[in-house]
Amino acid sequence: MHLDTIDLPKKNKLMESYIHDPEFVHSFFDYEVTAAGYEERAKELATRSFQRRELASVIEQYMQPFGISPLASQHIEELSSDAWVVIGGQQAGIMTGPLYSVHKAITVILIARQQREFFGKAVVPVFWIAGEDHDINEINHTYTAYEGKAMKRQFKQPIILKTMASDTVYDAKEMSTFIRKIFKGYGETSYTQKLMHEVLQSVEQQRTYTGFFTSLINHLFADYGLLLIDAAYQPLRQLESPYFSQMIENSATIAESIYAAEQKLHAHGYAKPIESEEADANLFYVHETGRVLLKRMDGKFVNEQSGISFTETEIHQLAIEQPWLLSNNVATRPLMQDLVFPVLAFVGGPGEIAYWSLLRQAFHTLGIKLPVVAPRLSITLVTRQAQEAMKRTDLSITQVLAHQVPEIQRKWLDDQRDETFIEMIREVKQQLEKQYEEMYKHLYVTDASMLPILEKNLQFHTSQFDYLQKKKEQSTLLKHDVQNSRYNVLNEQLFPDGSLQERLYSPYFFMNQYGDSLIGELLKQPYSFDGSHQVVYL
């Protein structure tokens, strides 16, 4: 296994600015991703207080059913004392969700290690699971590869209400059947049965999407002390009660600051990350019909579609007495993380960093600053099969990730066509059509009733020529199947459907070929945390 770094084609303007333009960073964030930025953030954290013991206890309670490794236990103890955290999170996807969930966890662990060494002080990795999210269609699928394409495999269990992932129960029997199909799609290797057994065991032991996700992530990262917490975990909600009250009290100011920041961002030529409005409450209410978004209207917090309406006094009372009925959105989740955890750095993907760029003044409204916002690692895994395919097709990883393979493959296939045979068929068809035209003229005068039969007969012969040409093309493909398969490997593994593999495939897609030791090997690589794309040759 070895590592290379490359610069991908520039597609995300905001991320380009965040990584390369200090003026942009100073306009929308509080700290640069530098040693000086970390030191300044550390000074700020030293002035703040946190419910450390209570938080450590909540994390321990949450993780206990999944198992707590010795290193994770050490990190919980350190957190209860004076440790800082590096935190990142993701939705509770099936089979851990896409690879970037794992890449995010790897980044969190490695930056925590790096900063622990730099400061000579405990810095622990935390993964925040967005179990409060209710769009199950975003997380109920994964992908396998087939004939040069990524095939979406969706777990189709009907969901009627907008229940949170942490409350959405799956059918264990149906999920087990689904998991078996996924592994069948991966193909049988020496690792398949062991991996599948572990995943199926989690399916049986858990009942919700979040529980299933937590079980797998905890298994993969137990040896590295990754702490896990579900945003929807009720004891955490109780801990968050005073912070919900702060957000409610400052709701109007927070919403106005986010709206103003988004307008400023847009005026600088960037897209609007969340399309905010000044009337946003930036909170959800967990209603009996599901999780519903609240707005501010005439001094109240409302959801008109559900007929829900709270006065400010009533929603403050909810925050105090039943905080588990409140839930953050993308704008207030970062605020909540920072109020609950002593966050040295937040690890986010491009989308997250885009909406974090709107939150500087919102943080300041609550008397805190944005933490260091570190981009997660972006990684492409190149199997030995893909390495051989690149060698045999004379293609570079840069060409593959620039989405050049489909066009190169199309041109190569065109070059393999038997043009002489195709021209022969064309000439015979022309001669036949000319002869049928003569017969048509003759029958038109002598026996017009025969014309439909003549036309049908011509169609039959034409279809036979088409069939012959199609069979010849299939024969040509079969003759060159090995080389064509190499192009398909590059398409399906490295840049499936024009996307980075990390956005589609689960880590089990690759662990099926390399075993669960793959995670440990990935954690050993000397990555560059400079926004470049990391290519790991397996």
The DSSP code sequence of 14-59 is HHHHHHH-HHHHHHH-S--SSHHHHHHHHHHHTT----HHHHHHHH
What would the pLDDT profile of 316-346 be if each residue is shown by its tens digit? 999 999 999 999 999 999 999 999 999 999 9
What would the pLDDT profile of 9-63 be if each residue is shown by its tens digit? 777 899 999 999 999 999 999 999 999 999 999 999 999 999 999 999 999 999 9
Residue 423 lies in a domain: yes
Q: Give the pLDDT confidence score for residue 8 in this predicted structure.
A: 86
Measure the CA angle with vertex 311, ends 309 and 316; round to 5°. 115
Please state the domain count of the chain. 1
Dihedral sign computed on CA atoms, order 421, 426, 429, 434? negative
Q: What is the mean pLDDT of residues 528-534?
A: 91
Residue 223 lies in a domain: no
End-to-end alpha carbon distance in the chain: 5
Answer yes or no: is pLDDT of 105 > 90. Answer: yes
Q: How distant, in Å, are the alpha carbons of 109, 426, 436, 465 from that of 456?
A: 71, 19, 11, 15
Burial class (CB in 10 A: 0-12, 13-18, 19+), 253: middle
Residue 426 lies in a domain: yes
Q: Give the pLDDT confidence score for residue 289 in this predicted structure.
A: 77
Residue 63 lies in a domain: no
Alpha carbon distance 236, 55 (integer Å): 8
The DSSP code sequence of 389-456 is HHHHHT--HHHHHTT-HHHHHHHHHHHHS-HHHHHHHHHHHHHHHHHHHHHHHHHHHH-GGGHHHHHH
Answer yes or no: is pLDDT of 491 > 90. Answer: yes
Average pLDDT taken over every residue of the chain: 94
Residue 110 lies in a domain: no
Share of the chain above pLDDT 90, in %: 83
Residue 206 lies in a domain: no
Answer yes or no: is pLDDT of 157 > 90. Answer: no
Instruction: Name the residue range of residue 395's domain.
Output: 384-499
The DSSP code sequence of 90-153 is E---GGGSSHHHHHHHHHHHHHHHHHHHHHTS-EEEEEEE-TT---GGGTSEEEEEETTEEEEE
What would the pLDDT profile of 201-222 be if each residue is shown by its tens digit? 999 999 999 999 999 999 999 9
Alpha carbon distance 129, 228 (integer Å): 7
Tokens of 389: 């395919």
Residue 157 lies in a domain: no
Residue 448 lies in a domain: yes
Give the list of residues 6+ apart from residue 257 with CB closer than 8 angstroms, or none: 361, 362, 365
Answer yes or no: is pLDDT of 420 > 80. Answer: no
H, E, C per residue of 223-275: HHCCEEEECCCHHHHHHHHHHHHHHHHCHHHHHHHHHHHHHHHHHCCCCCCCC
